[in-house]
Structure 1
Amino acid sequence: MATKLLNNIFCNGRKLTNVRYFARNIRKDPFKKTLDVLAIDMPSFSNKKKDFVYPEHSDIVIIGGSHIGSAIAHALKARTGEGLSVVVIEKDFTFKKAQNNVVLGTLSQHFSLPENVHLSKYSIDFLRGVRETLNEDCDLQYTPTGSLVLAGEKYADKLEENIVMLNELGVRNQVLTKTEINRRFPWINTQDIKLGCMAIEGEGTFNSWSLLKALVQKSKELGTTYVNAEVVGFDVEKQKDVLMEGVTPGTFRRINKVIYRTEDNEEYALKFAVCVLAAGSNSGHLAKLAGIGTGKDILQIPLPVEKREYNVYSVEGKASETGLCTPMVMDTTGLWLMRNGMENNLLCGNLPLMKDDTKNMSEQEYLEKLIKPSLINRFPSCENAEINKFTKESHDCNTYDNSGILGPHPYHNNLFLATGFGRLGCQHAPGIGKAITELIIDSQYMTIDLTRFGFDRFLMNEALVEFNVY
């Protein structure tokens, strides 16, 4: 049913507007091209119900149409209307990865970086008004479960610092001692816990799939063109008169076109003024196509984004013991646990690691060596519980410091990055969309200063670590 609905959203779009086209494309069969032209000029000549003209020019092209890409498209069109043409290129219109990632629909404010806190607060306000902003039929199924962060002796001081910061930023929260945690959540083992923290409001779970569909639908209504295709390269043009620090004079090459391949194996060149790379775990690979990480000078530094996969497990029959008010629990080991909606099972998993040390483990080893010891230590009643694989999730992991990457590339200043946010990408998407829109339209951040998420920190070797993600 969901796939059928999504096909309706993407395939039955109206006639394209606000997008300019050139007659030229690349690697297209001349005979088929002639037929396509005749089909446009003489609709009865075509057997297709509705012809789709692949765009070859747009003011802004966004690579990746999931939560972040579609949030950027929505924010741009909501602000500029017909003033800017926006094209989103997405290779998988089923968004299979987004549907499988169950932890995408979580909302938390427990972070050590102020930027993440501000993005979460922005998302809370956005989701509260989602029916007015996006679609009155959008049912997010929000459940205010709360989020409990635990800290042992090692992280207790850091958690206390975070609590002070949260209070300063207006996040109402509760500090819980070991005794208070035992009283409220007797199923949690607190023997090696010193402190816990929960926000009083604005934390819980929501239907991330409903949010994505609403973002796509509203973006299309505002005039965004979605193209089902895969990006396979970039075209560049030499600009010998451009001088840039760290770049040999006369060698600057500016990207101005993205090459994409359709489902029919046709390739087109889409000329743009600005390109936004929001392709999730594929962003690192696509950046290489623009010379990032394979070139000289500034282009020697790669975009450190890779795919990280991990299993989500179902702890059967235990939700009745933890109760309806079960919060999402973040353990000191990186283990997380949450209730599966109104079902009688709990879901748990381990945060993806920056260094994928588990890739050589079998699924059984991963369960026995990583998941079970942490799970049983924190929730002793799960020792004899039935634990089954629920799904496999994948995230875009920034292998440098595990924080998001946002803003223009220092060499390709018309290429904006919005990737590496991992499991926070869905939660932060509305704020990221707003931020990228401000950078493009206003040339600076206006709502939330996210400068520290920029690519420059890789050049300066200044890691930006989120300590509340153990």
Structure 2
Amino acid sequence: MNLVRPMSRAFSTKGPGTRQGRDVWNMLKEEFDILRTGRLTPMEPEVPAETDVLIIGGGIMGNSAAYWLKQRNPKGLTCTVVERDPTYTRSSTMLSVGGIRHQFRCPENVQMSLFTSEFLRNIREHLSVLDMDPPDVQFNPQGYMFLASEEQVDQLKENVTMQNELGAKVHLLTKNRLAQKFPWLNLEGVAAGSYGIEGEGWFDPYLLTRAFKQKNLSLGVRYVTGEVVGFDTKDEELIVGTGTRTCKYLKGAQIRNQTGEVHSLNFCFTVNCAGAWASEVAAMAGIGQGINELSVPLPVEPRKRYVYVVHCADGPGLEAPLTIDNSGMYFRREGIAGNYLCGSSPEEDEEPEVNTLNVDYEYYNDCVWPLLAHRIPKFENSKLRSAWAGFYDYNTVDQNCILGNHPYHRNFFFMNGFSGHGIQQAVAAGRALMELTLDNGYKTIDLSRLEFNRFITCEPCVEKCIV
């Protein structure tokens, strides 16, 4: 084989072996760089010029959306995820307690969490990547338990009936049965409880997010470190009745990288997965800033919640479920060394500031520990070990998730406002997004009641079972 390149082609700037008008010295420089770096293909730009789908936010919600879209069409659809904090130091995903339950008041929430349980049961089939260890999210199937006062029993019974009709495995326990099964409980003020016996418990949010991201990278999802700082629009004429109306069509986003440079990225459609800061992204698109459909803002704001780690050597054992007291206080076991996680949501008029992730330890002493020690007397001798704070992407209208696209910006989609249960419903929400965009409608679970339009028509879908 002749490995010597003919002189006439090697040094011709317009010959068949070169691009039109290309400088020969640049050719030699590129070939030398390939030998020096071992790079056989040109480096990709930091921010691509265009993508089919732009996903804003790289937590569990954004990763789920990217997965369902890409696995449906790995070669025919490009997907870019933009995340401003790749270390996830302020991510709601990583700072959550990682619970999954089927015990909700809204049927849609029950169905979404049931879907997630089935997904986790078969996670190796969904998220395994060739030549890598199969995913393991450390699922602890210890169940959830809600305690109800006498005034709450009727609603609890109604919830349990609906949950079981949808396929959940939830038992309604009388006070006597609670005393027999969980002798460590002080049942003063408790009339009954609901106990999930299958598919409920908790898992590691980091491991699930990592498994999604590894799978997405194998499917060709592009990840960009940066922050969306604005949107590009173009005018579009729409036919309305017998006339036309000029609308602003979202065609791209302005993305600022870590060095402050701003790049333009054109897209077909974009998905708001910005968590607690989703309303800021929506406002950049004019949502809540205009008239008619654009006059209604995205009702999502950050709400800070504290998670406390306590040690109790003789606390409830392995059989203890994640327990939600009728006061709103919750606790669950963390490992097998006597550590527990606990917390409680503050009253509406006592919400903490959200400028930092600082922890209020007085809140534990004044509000959480008294409830914890009252309900489980063994915790009277517990010791506070550590704590952290995280943000709920809190829907201030009905505490329920917001899905679907905006009625004005038809290529702007929401996956927001999960109000504390996003980690357990992101899997189903991502699939729903894929069905809406690629199938033009819900195929697995009908989530139409949870779309943004409900705020325009004043038809809230209230979820009461918020922890």
TM-score (norm 2): 0.86
Query: Which residue, out of 138, 141, 166, partners 1:141?
Result: 138
Deviation string for 1:296-327 (max 9, x for gaps)? 22111111111111221122224x33111111
Question: C-alpha distance in 1, partners of 2:64/2:349?
Answer: 29
Question: C-alpha distance in 1, partners of 2:285/2:67?
Answer: 25
- 1:42 aligned partner: 30
Question: Are 1:52 and 2:40 matched, yes or no?
Answer: no
Counterpart secondary structure, 1:432 = helix
- 1:211 aligned partner: 208
Counterpart secondary structure, 2:286 = coil
Question: Are 1:293 and 2:253 matched, yes or no?
Answer: no
Question: C-alpha distance in 2, partners of 1:366/1:61?
Answer: 40
Moved more, 350-359 or 307-316: 350-359
Question: Are 1:419 and 2:416 matched, yes or no?
Answer: yes
Question: C-alpha distance in 2, partners of 1:104/1:387?
Answer: 17
- Given that 2:238 and 2:246 are in contact with CA atoms closer than 8 Å, whether structure 1 keeps it comes out as no
Q: CA deviation at 1:468?
A: 2.1
Query: Which residue, out of 350, 358, 365, partners 1:368?
Result: 365
Q: Give the unaligned 5+ runs of structure 1.
A: 1-37
Are the structure 2 counterparts of residues 388 and 83 from structure 1 closer, same or farther at C-alpha, using a change threshold of 3 Å? same
Question: Are 1:176 and 2:157 matched, yes or no?
Answer: no
Question: C-alpha distance in 1, partners of 2:87/2:38?
Answer: 21
Q: Give the unaligned 5+ runs of structure 2.
A: 1-25
- Given that 1:358 and 1:366 are in contact with CA atoms closer than 8 Å, whether structure 2 keeps it comes out as no
Question: C-alpha distance in 2, partners of 1:99/1:49?
Answer: 39
Q: CA deviation at 1:243?
A: 3.4
Are the structure 2 counterparts of residues 102 and 336 from structure 1 closer, same or farther at C-alpha, using a change threshold of 3 Å? farther
Counterpart secondary structure, 1:343 = coil
Please tell me the residue identity of whatever aligns with 2:44: F
Deviation string for 1:58-95 (max 9, x for gaps)? 11111111111111111111111211111111111122
Q: CA deviation at 1:55?
A: 0.6
Q: CA deviation at 1:137?
A: 2.2
Question: Are 1:227 and 2:224 matched, yes or no?
Answer: yes
- Given that 1:354 and 1:401 are in contact with CA atoms closer than 8 Å, whether structure 2 keeps it comes out as no
Question: C-alpha distance in 2, partners of 1:228/1:281?
Answer: 18
Q: CA deviation at 1:384?
A: 4.1
Question: Are 1:165 and 2:162 matched, yes or no?
Answer: yes
**How many residues in Structure 1 have an aligned counterpart in Structure 2?**
430
Question: C-alpha distance in 2, partners of 1:438/1:104?
Answer: 29
Question: Are 1:346 and 2:340 matched, yes or no?
Answer: yes
- Given that 1:403 and 1:466 are in contact with CA atoms closer than 8 Å, whether structure 2 keeps it comes out as yes
Counterpart secondary structure, 2:231 = strand
Q: CA deviation at 1:264?
A: 2.4
Question: Are 1:151 and 2:151 matched, yes or no?
Answer: no
CA RMSD across the alignment: 2.6
Are the structure 2 counterparts of residues 356 and 438 from structure 1 closer, same or farther at C-alpha, using a change threshold of 3 Å? farther
- 2:7 aligned partner: none
Query: Which residue, out of 262, 273, 279, partners 1:278?
Result: 273
Question: C-alpha distance in 2, partners of 1:357/1:287?
Answer: 23
Query: Which residue, out of 320, 328, 331, partners 1:334?
Result: 328
Are the structure 2 counterparts of residues 45 and 240 from structure 1 closer, same or farther at C-alpha, using a change threshold of 3 Å? same
Deviation string for 1:315-341 (max 9, x for gaps)? 2224x3311111100122221100012
- Given that 1:314 and 1:347 are in contact with CA atoms closer than 8 Å, whether structure 2 keeps it comes out as yes
Q: CA deviation at 1:352?
A: 6.6
- 1:308 aligned partner: 303
Question: C-alpha distance in 2, partners of 1:353/1:48?
Answer: 58
Counterpart secondary structure, 2:61 = helix
Counterpart secondary structure, 1:315 = strand
- 2:452 aligned partner: 455
Question: C-alpha distance in 2, partners of 1:157/1:49?
Answer: 69
- Given that 2:92 and 2:390 are in contact with CA atoms closer than 8 Å, whether structure 1 keeps it comes out as no
Q: CA deviation at 1:370?
A: 2.4
Q: CA deviation at 1:183?
A: 1.6
- 1:239 aligned partner: 236
Deviation string for 1:361-389 (max 9, x for gaps)? 98244223321332233223323432244
Question: Are 1:253 and 2:241 matched, yes or no?
Answer: no
Counterpart secondary structure, 1:81 = coil
Question: C-alpha distance in 1, partners of 2:276/2:88?
Answer: 13
- 2:4 aligned partner: none
Are the structure 2 counterparts of residues 244 and 188 from structure 1 closer, same or farther at C-alpha, using a change threshold of 3 Å? farther
Counterpart secondary structure, 1:412 = coil
Question: Are 1:263 and 2:258 matched, yes or no?
Answer: yes
Counterpart secondary structure, 1:97 = coil
Query: Which residue, out of 182, 188, 191, partners 1:185?
Result: 182
Please tell me the residue identity of whatever aligns with 1:435: A
Are the structure 2 counterparts of residues 306 and 49 from structure 1 closer, same or farther at C-alpha, using a change threshold of 3 Å? farther
Counterpart secondary structure, 1:42 = helix
Moved more, 51-60 or 69-78: 51-60
Are the structure 2 counterparts of residues 294 and 244 from structure 1 closer, same or farther at C-alpha, using a change threshold of 3 Å? farther
Q: CA deviation at 1:469?
A: 2.1
Deviation string for 1:427-450 (max 9, x for gaps)? 111111110000000110000001
- Given that 2:310 and 2:385 are in contact with CA atoms closer than 8 Å, whether structure 1 keeps it comes out as yes
Counterpart secondary structure, 1:422 = coil
Which protein is bigger by CA-based radius of gyration?
2
- Given that 1:59 and 1:272 are in contact with CA atoms closer than 8 Å, whether structure 2 keeps it comes out as yes
- Given that 2:312 and 2:378 are in contact with CA atoms closer than 8 Å, whether structure 1 keeps it comes out as no
TM-score (norm 1): 0.85
Counterpart secondary structure, 1:324 = coil
- 2:99 aligned partner: 106
Q: CA deviation at 1:416?
A: 0.6
- Given that 1:336 and 1:351 are in contact with CA atoms closer than 8 Å, whether structure 2 keeps it comes out as no
Question: Are 1:85 and 2:78 matched, yes or no?
Answer: yes
Counterpart secondary structure, 2:75 = helix
- Given that 1:104 and 1:424 are in contact with CA atoms closer than 8 Å, whether structure 2 keeps it comes out as no
Question: C-alpha distance in 1, partners of 2:90/2:385?
Answer: 20
Question: C-alpha distance in 2, partners of 1:362/1:102?
Answer: 13
Q: CA deviation at 1:354?
A: 6.3
Are the structure 2 counterparts of residues 410 and 353 from structure 1 closer, same or farther at C-alpha, using a change threshold of 3 Å? farther
- 1:74 aligned partner: 67
Question: C-alpha distance in 2, partners of 1:242/1:272?
Answer: 23
